[in-house]
Amino acid sequence: MSEEFQARRAEGRRLADRLRSDAAEAGQPLAWFDAFYRAAKGDRAMIPWGHGEPRADLREWLARQSADQKKGQALDVGCGLGDNAALLAASGFEVTAFDISQEAVNWAAGRFGDLDITWRSADLMALPSEWQGAFGFVNETYTLQSLREPFRSEALKALAGCVAAGGRLFILGRGRHDDEPENPPPWPLLVSELAGLKASGLEEESFEDFMVTRNGRDVRHFRAVYHKLG
Ligand SMILES: C[S@@+](CC[C@H](N)C(=O)[O-])C[C@H]1O[C@@H](n2cnc3c(N)ncnc32)[C@H](O)[C@@H]1O
């Protein structure tokens, strides 16, 4: 990362903090995402999660799945700039990718226009009814952690609802044990709330708890996979 890129990344973080807190004060905590993407004016350096490549912990996990497990309909949740959706499409899935921000969706579609991906603007809190039980694979990376209650519980139920019978839900993000401090934002995923997915008909297939070094600090992460009984 050049010094200039780092300076713009820092500016992006400050802008995100300001817009997030203004939106919360205005009683519309989800409204800042679209405003933020618009303010970034197509500059990926401004987007703290704009890595210009798919999430390494998703890519590494996908590489270990069989070709049979990488076909059929996949949903990419909170697609942002679209790198994970592109990876899913390249892996063999038929991908629908959505984000609450139309700006993000336009940006992602522009970057990956050569791929056969359905790009949609949609809110996890009010998903199209035809998505219920429609996806053999649902990918959620780092979106849940940008939401806090009451949205978080609703989002978890919505994610579980999109998974087809026999399908899988992949979750990757910051994690927190129930007795650890929160230090938000983002708001790390709690072990106990993920355990609650069982009530939505999902069985845990794997759960990894690991540290990622960010700016010289160890940050707990969870990578979890759930299976909906057929
Ligand atoms: C931290 S970014 C993560 C982007 C991407 N998934 C990744 O792994 O880099 C969170 C994304 O979720 C989107 N988002 C936030 N709330 C959402 C909601 N209620 N419905 C759909 N997308 C949402 C934001 O616009 C943003 O693009």
Domain boundaries, the chain: 1-48, 52-228
Strand partners, 13: none
Contact 159, 202 (CB under 8 A): no
Query: Which pLDDT does position 6 carry in this prediction?
Result: 95
Distance 19 CA to ligand 1 centre (A): 15
Ligand 1 pocket, residue 125 CB under 6 Å: yes
Query: Which pLDDT does position 183 carry in this prediction?
Result: 79
Residue 153 has pLDDT above 90, yes or no: yes
Ligand 1 pocket, residue 139 CB under 6 Å: no
According to CATH, the topology of domain 52-228 is Rossmann fold (3.40.50)
CA 138 from centroid of its chain's CA atoms: 10
The better pLDDT of the pair 91, 217 is held by 91
Dihedrals phi, psi of 171, to nearest 5 degrees: -125, 130
* Mean pLDDT over the full length of the chain: 96
Going by pLDDT thresholds of 50, 70 and 90, the confidence category of residue 113 is very high
Q: Return the residue whose CA atom lies nearest to atom 10 of ligand 1.
A: 143
Query: Which pLDDT does position 194 carry in this prediction?
Result: 95
Looking from the CA of residue 125, the nearest atom of ligand 1 is: 19
Residue 61 has pLDDT above 90, yes or no: yes
Please, where are the H alpha helices in the chain?
A: 3-25, 32-40, 56-63, 83-91, 102-111, 151-162, 191-195
Of 53-62, 133-142, 176-185, 210-219, give the lowest mean pLDDT range. Answer: 176-185
Please state, in angstroms and rounded to a whole number, the distance separating the CA atoms of residues 49 and 81.
Answer: 9
Contact 43, 7 (CB under 8 A): no
The encoded tokens of residue 162 equal 């999109």
Going by pLDDT thresholds of 50, 70 and 90, the confidence category of residue 136 is very high
The encoded tokens of residue 218 equal 């160890």
What value does the mean pLDDT take over residues 170-184? 91
Query: Which pLDDT does position 214 carry in this prediction?
Result: 86
pLDDT digits (tens, 9 = 90+) for 10-57: 999 999 999 999 999 999 999 999 999 999 999 999 999 999 999 999
Looking from the CA of residue 141, the nearest atom of ligand 1 is: 8
**Which H or E run contains 210?**
strand 202-214
Amino acid identity for residue 85 in this structure: A
Report yes or no on whether pTM surpasses 0.85: yes
Distance 222 CA to ligand 1 centre (A): 17
Please state, in angstroms and rounded to a whole number, the distance separating the CA atoms of residues 147 and 144.
Answer: 5
Q: CB count, 10 Å around CB of 80? A: 25
Residue 130 has pLDDT above 90, yes or no: yes
The better pLDDT of the pair 181, 125 is held by 125
Residue 215 has pLDDT above 90, yes or no: no
Going by pLDDT thresholds of 50, 70 and 90, the confidence category of residue 125 is very high
Residue 101 has pLDDT above 90, yes or no: yes
Residue 81 makes CB contacts below 8 A (sequence gap 6+) with 44, 47, 49, 50, 52, 104, 107, 108, 111
Query: Which pLDDT does position 184 carry in this prediction?
Result: 78
Pocket test for ligand 1, best of 99, 125, 141, 145 (most atoms within 8 A of CB): 99
DSSP of 128-187: -GGGTT-EEEEEEESSGGG--TTHHHHHHHHHHHHEEEEEEEEEEEEEE-TTS----SS-
Going by pLDDT thresholds of 50, 70 and 90, the confidence category of residue 1 is confident
